[in-house]
A and B are shown apart, each in its own frame.
Chain A
Amino acid sequence: LAKTTQPISMDSYEGQEVNITCSHNNIATNDYITWYQQFPSQGPRFIIQGYKTKVTNEVASLFIPADRKSSTLSLPRVSLSDTAVYYCLVGESSDYKLSFGAGTTVTVRA
């Protein structure tokens, strides 16, 4: 599994856009980039997954440059309820052995 590096924490305010960048220099050809969200005392929740360029769903957008050595999760117009830990995972879409790192703690303030 490719190693990922993401910031330990980020602060934001309600209504702002939050961008979390994850570095994965050793990403393999078959690897996808997957993001999970975890609220305190809850299990992680799958947010989005992508391979290249841009992926968007109702929760977030994922931007992946051509070299795929990094990716950015974008949370538009965050609210207090978006305060959570966000994990960047890299691996094959068929790889059930999820490797969660420390994640990025996003704190949204009023």
Chain B
Amino acid sequence: ETGVTQTPRHLVMGMTNKKSLKCEQHLGHNAMYWYKQSAKKPLELMFVYNFKEQTENNSVPSRFSPECPNSSHLFLHLHTLQPEDSALYLCASSPRGLKDNEQFFGPGTRLTVL
């Protein structure tokens, strides 16, 4: 148990749906991240938040919208997704903010877009 939880663990949605992924950590970490892991591809960093402020958006399409209301919670709002967006979405946090390559990952949300 790494202390980073993600809900839901599995999600199936249509292309016209709107859904949200939730990530929660009570480790006292200051930085939180969203990653995407597609089949047969390396993990891709999507968004980075440090002390609730978004510091990075790696050219992610606008149909993915992150939200970080506080240092313990991170959301990824999804709308009008495409089938190629089906992937494992991973949340991570790190204790030393953006000076840290030791990151704690959650179990991920397996997303399927029909």
Q: Which A residues fall within an 8 A CB radius of B?
A: 32, 34, 41-46, 49, 89, 91-103
Q: Report whether A93 and B101 are in contact in the complex, using a CB–CB cutoff of 8 Å.
A: yes
Known contacts being A43-B90, A43-B92, A45-B2, is A98 close to B101, with CB within 8 Å? yes
Q: Report whether A43 and B31 are in contact in the complex, using a CB–CB cutoff of 8 Å.
A: no
Q: Which residues of A have CB within 8 Å of B48? A: 96
Nearest-Cβ distance from residue B48 to partner chain A, whole angstroms: 7
Known contacts being A41-B108, A96-B31, A96-B98, is A46 close to B103, with CB within 8 Å? yes
Q: Report whether A43 and B2 are in contact in the complex, using a CB–CB cutoff of 8 Å.
A: yes
Q: Which B residues fall within an 8 A CB radius of A?
A: 2, 4, 31, 33, 42-43, 45, 48, 88, 90-92, 94, 96-108, 110
Among A42, A49, A97, contact of B107 (Cβ-Cβ < 8 Å): A42
Among B43, B91, B106, B110, contact of A100 (Cβ-Cβ < 8 Å): B43
Known contacts being A34-B101, A41-B108, A46-B103, is A96 close to B42, with CB within 8 Å? no
In the complex formed, the residue of B with least CB distance to A103 is: B42
Q: Which residues of B have CB within 8 Å of A99? A: 42
In the complex formed, the residue of B with least CB distance to A40 is: B88
A–B complex contacts, Cβ < 8 Å, 6 sampled: A41-B110, A42-B108, A49-B102, A92-B101, A96-B31, A102-B42
